[in-house]
Chain A
Amino acid sequence: MRNDSSPSVFRQIDWPLVIIYLLIVVAGVFSIYAASYDFDEASIFSFDEFSGKQIRWIGLGLVLGCVVLLTDYRVFETYAYLIYGILLVLLLVTPFIAPDIKGSRSWLVIGPMSLQPAEFAKVATALALAKLFNGYNFTLKGRPGNYLRAVALFVVPILLILNQNETGSALAYTALVLVLYREGMSGLILFAGVFAVAVFVIAVKYTEELFLGIPGGEFTVMVLVMITMVIMAFIYGRTMEIARNLLAGFAACLLIMWVLGGLIGLNMPGRAIMICIVVAGCIYLAFEALKRHISSLSVPIVTAVLAIGFMFSVNIAFDQLQPHQQQRIRVVLGIEEDLRGAGYNVNQSKIAIGSGGFFGKGFLNGTQTKLKYVPEQHTDFIFCTIGEEEGFVGSFAIIALYMAMILRVIAIAERQPRPFGRIYGYCVASYIIFHFCVNIGMVIGLCPVIGIPLPLLSYGGSSLWGFTLLIFILLRIDAARKSYS
């Protein structure tokens, strides 16, 4: 069992993932070259250029990858907590010893390199989480203590990274809830998360009065709550009857309200009436629950109360955000059309991508990215260059590559014989999913601008090495899976 660190490991590794990895990395080099191409034709390999530097990062990253492949796979599991601990200490001290770069103290300067511990902490957290779940008989079901331990494992780095003012990097760790979901966390919690985001967006975005003094957003949310209650009553109510009654009641109330208020123009306290309707629904459900002894009918009641309460506290919560974050959210929701300020980046990147058309303007022929209309074009906004120069075809290809990578990582995770490998694989997948969704989403104007790189494609050594380590450790663990079967 100890002779598998021989070169034969290269026969065992998952080549499809390696090929996808290499394709993305090479696409990155070309995109970075195009993004920073400045009309005076410097070589793509020149170390003065970002592309040349990126090639150096890739080269060293591959060396790192080979070292990982040649390492005994058990090292990662054995030392997972140690590595995690070291990284936490590093995260803790970084703000005190790091120089101030663009308002953020998150870079450690080591000789000629600047590295972001936050990127490497991703690896450590994944390993630690995997080790936790690998414990004998570890399960989430009915064990709040286990939930707490798992969540604590990634909340601690989040807090430490927030302390460095790197909101984007910190948020990436929240993607690990996907791992919890895979390992048994109730889908309801995930649903509640999505529902909360939807409520937030609708409530913040539509603040104009619809009728009877109710803002459009509030009205929509309350109707959504009613629909959710009906659906839940259907799922948990065992009979169609309860859901049907509830639906009929809501529909009748809304109709009467619309006729009296909207058509006749009777002056009524709309918000109070809407709340009364929801409360009436809850009372009806409680009545049915008691009568028929269906305790799970409490789910829609709790959901309704939480959703309405959440909606009214959104404004309060929104005020807690920092002004520039509020603004970013407003801009991305289309409340503010601030093309010079926060909206400038998004607008310019949309212009760059939109001007690409179907086939793009051709390699190095982009004007928007080249002329620096798009900010951070070689790092966070690298996708603009692809969109502009390679068009829809190129953008589609990149999205397809990431899809392939994510699905491949999930497939690899699922085929692991031990929880350690599976959990670790899902951690890797979660990080990539989050970075992919948020980065491309912000570039095409569907997400708020959160400064995180596109994995393996954006310029930047830390991120590249971080994701390289994540993937190569997975490859190493995967290559050893047969040792257990």
Chain B
Amino acid sequence: MRKDYKLEKRKYVIGGFVLLIALIYVGRLFDLQINDERYKKSADTNAFLHKTVYPSRGLMYDRDGRLVVYNQPAYDVMLIPRDVQPFDTVDFCNTLNITPEQLRRRFADMRDKRLNPGYSSYTPQRLITQLSTEDYGRLQEKLYRFPGFYIQKRILRQYNYSAAANVLGNLREVSQTDIDKDPYYSPGDYCGDLGVERSYEEYLRGVKGEEILIRDSRGRIQGRYDGGAHDVEPISGHDLTLSIDIELQEYAERLMAGKRGAVVAIEPETGEILCLVSSPTYDPRLLVGRHRGENYKALVNDPSLPLFDRALGGAYPPGSTFKPTQGLILLQEGIITTSTTYPCHGGYVNGGLRVGCHAHGSPLPLKPALQTSCNAFFCWGFKAMIDRRGKYGNPANAFEIWKKHLVSMGYGYALGVDLPHESRGFLPNAKFYNKFYGEGHWSANTVISVAIGQGEILATPLQIANLAATIANRGWFITPHAVKAIQDTVLPPQYSERRRPTIDLKWYPEVAEGMRMAVTGGTCRRAAIPGIDVAGKTGTAQNPHGRDHSAFMGFAPYDHPKIAVAVYVENGGFGAVYGVPIGSLVMEKYLCDSIHPSRQYMEDQMISTTLPYSNAKR
């Protein structure tokens, strides 16, 4: 019965020690559970897999309801690195038909912060993109053997026609810049690149949905969170009806084969673009699927610039297709009347300057001047306007008036087509010349070449086609656009508003008639289509890149125009050689659906001709 009372006090030390620890633990729990919100967030990202459900992207139909662009499912192999456990790589590689070396590469690329700045071992990462349906099926069956992996269904584009790549555009993976600009995107998403895919991206893409799944620590899905009550259904994108006639587009692309240049056809009444050809072109299917990367690289490096849309991005000297604008301005400004004549003896000769012309009657008024594409007439007219100090004070003022009219006709600025990368062309202004020649040191003769669409003037084939449409409408146009209708919503209003140039309506028939005469008995007789009245204007544009460019613009039928067209063939020589036949064949194809037997040779000739180009980049 020993009891050491001194030692008994030690029970307080031991008890106190335990209580102290308990107190520390309670404090720590308070900190974890009540103080620190961080753990609640971690818990959510831990247990909930927010799986994106991609909406079906809007389809594209042509103006006649033919399906042009549709979707096909593709499957990406996703993984959450943290959840991946050692797995049978040989089995994995065999299932997907890849070599272990490729798999290792993919893992290395995925972890490379430079290639994949969004890498985190906690978030879903894309390992392999766009599995074929067969690979998908095989992997799906074995997926349970690869914890941490899952399959994400994606939407890829597929094309019924190999044409119109420049109009349709394609899809690419979003860049970091896209993500920064638009919070809709997250890494690995696709967005439209080029063409309609790009400009109508917000209509086409729809709204992403989200599935909230509960998963365990191995990434195994345990079911839907709350029975799917918090899931968000994806909303499909809007389908688009293009204004393009896909068969006409195909046909025009065929005619342009082997030649560089552009064909633009517009329905004058609506401003709808019927075809928009940039040549050389490429098969849009090249930019789909797992080989997109290498194909894209090849296209980018191709010296003929197939990815560059010449129809609206190419700025060319319009040459003689510019002359109708000159006639309209001169009439509007009262410089000439319909009967004013100017002489032409092989060209415009004034003040030591000579602009050559070809043989035709002289002197002549506006309509025959258009018919014969007389350089002298338009040079005299231009000189008469610019140098009329009595009316304008000085050449600079006169030039600004001249320019203002052209701008109203759609030159010098982008027209506002619903496609990306439209060039504005180029119109010099008085300031430009003041700077170049010095103020007061230039006059009409100094800049005379602009009167015939040469010199500093540059226009896109789209602008030229728009001029044809304006003349076809006898004085107005609607901003050209490639999309006719958007499902469940309306087109932006600017694509139904008439735009009026600053030229009185009464002058247009004069110019139209001159263009009609060019077909019946002038420079573009080859544009004549049996049974249809065609009006047209050739263009032969000198340029610093070798042989003249061959251009044509026109419309038909003359009285109730259904199509206006512009053709531009780089280094094609005289307008009549390539521009006229291609333009008229396109119009004939559109209006008659077939080519008259008497013109069949022309078609064959165009399709089979290949022009030689040096591969130096423009």
What is the CB-to-nearest-CB distance from A407 to chain B, in angstroms, rounded to a whole number? Answer: 6
In the complex, which of the residues B2, B4, B25, B215 has the most CB atoms of chain A within 10 Å of its own CB atom? B25
Instruction: Answer yes or no: A441 CB below 8 A from chain B CBs.
Output: yes
Compute how far the CA of A367 lies from the CA of B11 in the bound complex, rounded to whole angstroms. Answer: 42
Instruction: Answer yes or no: A452 CB below 8 A from chain B CBs.
Output: no
Segment from A156-164, A221-229, A306-314, A368-376 that makes contact with B:
A368-376
Instruction: Answer yes or no: A4 CB below 8 A from chain B CBs.
Output: no
Identify which of A183, A395, A417 contacts B29 (C-beta below 8 A). A395
Instruction: Answer yes or no: B216 CB below 8 A from chain A CBs.
Output: yes
Q: For residue A357, which residue of chain B has the nearest CB?
A: B33
Q: For residue B2, which residue of chain A has the nearest CB?
A: A419
Instruction: Answer yes or no: A427 CB below 8 A from chain B CBs.
Output: no
Compute how far the CA of A357 lies from the CA of B21 in the bound complex, rounded to whole angstroms. Answer: 21
Q: For residue B42, which residue of chain A has the nearest CB?
A: A351
What is the CB-to-nearest-CB distance from B86 to chain A, in angstroms, rounded to a whole number? Answer: 13
Task: Mark each residue of chain A from 432 to 448: 1 if its CB lies under 8 Å from any CB of chain B, else 0.
Answer: 01000100110011100
Contact check, A355 vs B39: say whether CB atoms are below 8 A apart: yes
Q: Which residues of A contact B46 (CB under 8 A)?
A: 348, 351, 367-368, 371, 373
Q: Which residues of B contact A391 (CB under 8 A)?
A: 33
Q: Which residues of A contact B7 (CB under 8 A)?
A: 182-184
Identify which of A184, A353, A406, A410 contacts B33 (C-beta below 8 A). A353
Contact check, B43 vs A372: say whether CB atoms are below 8 A apart: no
Identify which of B14, B28, B40, B48 contacts A178 (C-beta below 8 A). B14
Contact check, A372 vs B10: say whether CB atoms are below 8 A apart: no
Instruction: Answer yes or no: A251 CB below 8 A from chain B CBs.
Output: no
Compute how far the CA of A395 lies from the CA of B34 in the bound complex, rounded to whole angstroms. Answer: 12
Compute how far the CA of A351 lies from the CA of B11 in the bound complex, rounded to whole angstroms. Answer: 36
Task: Mark each residue of chain A from 163 to 193: 1 if its CB lies under 8 Å from any CB of chain B, else 0.
Answer: 0000000000000001001111001000000
Instruction: Answer yes or no: B214 CB below 8 A from chain A CBs.
Output: yes
Contact check, B34 vs A350: say whether CB atoms are below 8 A apart: no
Q: Given A367-B43, A372-B216: A39 and B32 within 8 A (CB)?
A: no
Compute how far the CA of A358 lies from the CA of B36 in the bound complex, rounded to whole angstroms. Answer: 11
Interface residues of A in 356-381 (CB under 8 A from B): 356-358, 367-368, 371-374
Task: Mark each residue of chain B from 79 to 93: 1 if its CB lies under 8 Å from any CB of chain A, else 0.
Answer: 000100000000000
Q: For residue A347, which residue of chain B has the nearest CB?
A: B42
Interface residues of B in 1-17 (CB under 8 A from A): 1-2, 4, 7-8, 10-11, 13-15
Compute how far the CA of A68 lies from the CA of B512 in the bound complex, rounded to whole angstroms. Answer: 118
Segment from B110-118, B217-225, B376-384, B499-507 that makes contact with A:
B217-225
Instruction: Answer yes or no: B607 CB below 8 A from chain A CBs.
Output: no
Q: For residue B45, which residue of chain A has the nearest CB?
A: A351
Q: Given A182-B14, A355-B39: A371 and B33 within 8 A (CB)?
A: no
Q: For residue B12, which residue of chain A has the nearest CB?
A: A410
Q: Which residues of A contact B32 (CB under 8 A)?
A: 350, 353-354, 387, 444
Instruction: Answer yes or no: A352 CB below 8 A from chain B CBs.
Output: yes
Identify which of A182, A429, A446 contacts B10 (C-beta below 8 A). A182
Contact check, B39 vs A353: say whether CB atoms are below 8 A apart: yes
Contact check, A396 vs B8: say whether CB atoms are below 8 A apart: no
Instruction: Answer yes or no: B532 CB below 8 A from chain A CBs.
Output: no
Instruction: Answer yes or no: A399 CB below 8 A from chain B CBs.
Output: yes
Compute how far the CA of A222 lies from the CA of B25 in the bound complex, rounded to whole angstroms. Answer: 29
Contact check, B8 vs A414: say whether CB atoms are below 8 A apart: yes
Instruction: Answer yes or no: B38 CB below 8 A from chain A CBs.
Output: yes
What is the CB-to-nearest-CB distance from B296 to chain A, in angstroms, rounded to a whole number? Answer: 37
Contact check, B40 vs A387: say whether CB atoms are below 8 A apart: no
Q: Which residues of A contact B4 (CB under 8 A)?
A: 184
Compute how far the CA of A181 lies from the CA of B12 in the bound complex, rounded to whole angstroms. Answer: 12
Identify which of A357, A419, A446 contacts B25 (C-beta below 8 A). A446
Interface residues of A in 408-459 (CB under 8 A from B): 410, 414, 417-419, 429, 433, 437, 440-441, 444-446
Identify which of B14, B34, B214 contacts A371 (C-beta below 8 A). B214
Instruction: Answer yes or no: B18 CB below 8 A from chain A CBs.
Output: yes
Instruction: Answer yes or no: A392 CB below 8 A from chain B CBs.
Output: yes
Identify which of B1, B13, B18, B43 contacts A351 (C-beta below 8 A). B43
Q: Which residues of B contact A371 (CB under 8 A)?
A: 46-47, 214-217, 222
In the complex, which of the residues A373, A391, A419 has the most CB atoms of chain B within 10 Å of its own CB atom? A373
Q: Given A350-B32, A367-B47, A433-B18: A372 and B218 within 8 A (CB)?
A: yes
What is the CB-to-nearest-CB distance from A185 to chain B, in angstroms, rounded to a whole number? Answer: 10
What is the CB-to-nearest-CB distance from B94 to chain A, in angstroms, rounded to a whole number? Answer: 28
Contact check, A181 vs B214: say whether CB atoms are below 8 A apart: no
Instruction: Answer yes or no: A89 CB below 8 A from chain B CBs.
Output: no
What is the CB-to-nearest-CB distance from B596 to chain A, in angstroms, rounded to a whole number? Answer: 74
Instruction: Answer yes or no: A403 CB below 8 A from chain B CBs.
Output: yes
Contact check, A392 vs B222: say whether CB atoms are below 8 A apart: no
Interface residues on B, range: 35 or more
Q: For residue A355, which residue of chain B has the nearest CB?
A: B43
Identify which of B25, B34, B82, B218 contacts A441 (C-beta below 8 A). B25
Instruction: Answer yes or no: A482 CB below 8 A from chain B CBs.
Output: no
Instruction: Answer yes or no: A340 CB below 8 A from chain B CBs.
Output: yes
Interface residues of B in 41-96 (CB under 8 A from A): 42-44, 46-48, 82
Contact check, A352 vs B15: say whether CB atoms are below 8 A apart: no
Compute how far the CA of A414 lies from the CA of B14 in the bound complex, rounded to whole angstroms. Answer: 12
Q: Which residues of A contact B121 (CB under 8 A)?
A: 340
What is the CB-to-nearest-CB distance from A477 to chain B, in angstroms, rounded to a whole number? Answer: 16
Q: For residue A137, which residue of chain B has the nearest CB?
A: B2
Q: For residue A140, which residue of chain B has the nearest CB?
A: B7
Q: Which residues of A contact B48 (CB under 8 A)?
A: 367
Instruction: Answer yes or no: B22 CB below 8 A from chain A CBs.
Output: yes
Compute how far the CA of A441 lies from the CA of B20 in the bound complex, rounded to whole angstroms. Answer: 13
Identify which of B22, B39, B218 contacts A403 (C-beta below 8 A). B22
Compute how far the CA of A395 lies from the CA of B33 in the bound complex, rounded to whole angstroms. Answer: 10
Contact check, A396 vs B47: say whether CB atoms are below 8 A apart: no
Instruction: Answer yes or no: B232 CB below 8 A from chain A CBs.
Output: no
Contact check, A410 vs B11: say whether CB atoms are below 8 A apart: yes
Identify which of B15, B39, B222 contacts A39 (C-beta below 8 A). B222
Q: For residue B41, which residue of chain A has the nearest CB?
A: A355
In the complex, which of the residues A340, A354, A441 has the most CB atoms of chain B within 10 Å of its own CB atom? A354
Q: Given A373-B47, A441-B25: A410 and B216 within 8 A (CB)?
A: no
Instruction: Answer yes or no: B24 CB below 8 A from chain A CBs.
Output: yes
Q: For residue A368, which residue of chain B has the nearest CB?
A: B43
Compute how far the CA of A391 lies from the CA of B22 in the bound complex, rounded to whole angstroms. Answer: 17
Q: Which residues of A contact B30 (CB under 8 A)?
A: 392
Q: For residue B21, which residue of chain A has the nearest CB?
A: A437
Q: Which residues of B contact A388 (CB under 8 A)?
A: 43
Q: Which residues of B contact A39 (CB under 8 A)?
A: 222-223
Contact check, B42 vs A392: say whether CB atoms are below 8 A apart: no
Instruction: Answer yes or no: B592 CB below 8 A from chain A CBs.
Output: no
Q: Which residues of A contact B42 (CB under 8 A)?
A: 351, 354-355
- The residues of B with any CB-CB pair to A shorter than 8 Å are 1-2, 4, 7-8, 10-11, 13-15, 18-19, 21-22, 24-26, 28-30, 32-34, 36, 38-40, 42-44, 46-48, 82, 121, 214-218, 222-223
Instruction: Show 29 residue pairs from A and B whose CB-CB distance is below 8 angstroms, ordered by the A residue.
Output: A39-B223, A181-B14, A182-B7, A183-B7, A184-B4, A184-B7, A340-B82, A348-B46, A348-B217, A350-B32, A351-B39, A351-B46, A354-B38, A354-B42, A354-B43, A355-B39, A357-B34, A371-B215, A371-B216, A373-B216, A387-B33, A388-B43, A414-B8, A433-B14, A437-B18, A441-B21, A441-B25, A445-B28, A446-B25
Seed contacts A353-B33, A391-B33, A414-B8; 5 additional CB < 8 Å A-B pairs:
A350-B39, A354-B42, A367-B48, A367-B214, A406-B15
For the complex of A and B, 9 pairs with smallest distance between CB atoms: A354-B39, A355-B43, A367-B47, A371-B216, A354-B32, A373-B217, A392-B33, A351-B42, A372-B216
- The residues of A with any CB-CB pair to B shorter than 8 Å are 39, 178, 181-184, 187, 340, 348, 350-358, 367-368, 371-374, 387-388, 391-392, 395-396, 399, 402-403, 406-407, 410, 414, 417-419, 429, 433, 437, 440-441, 444-446
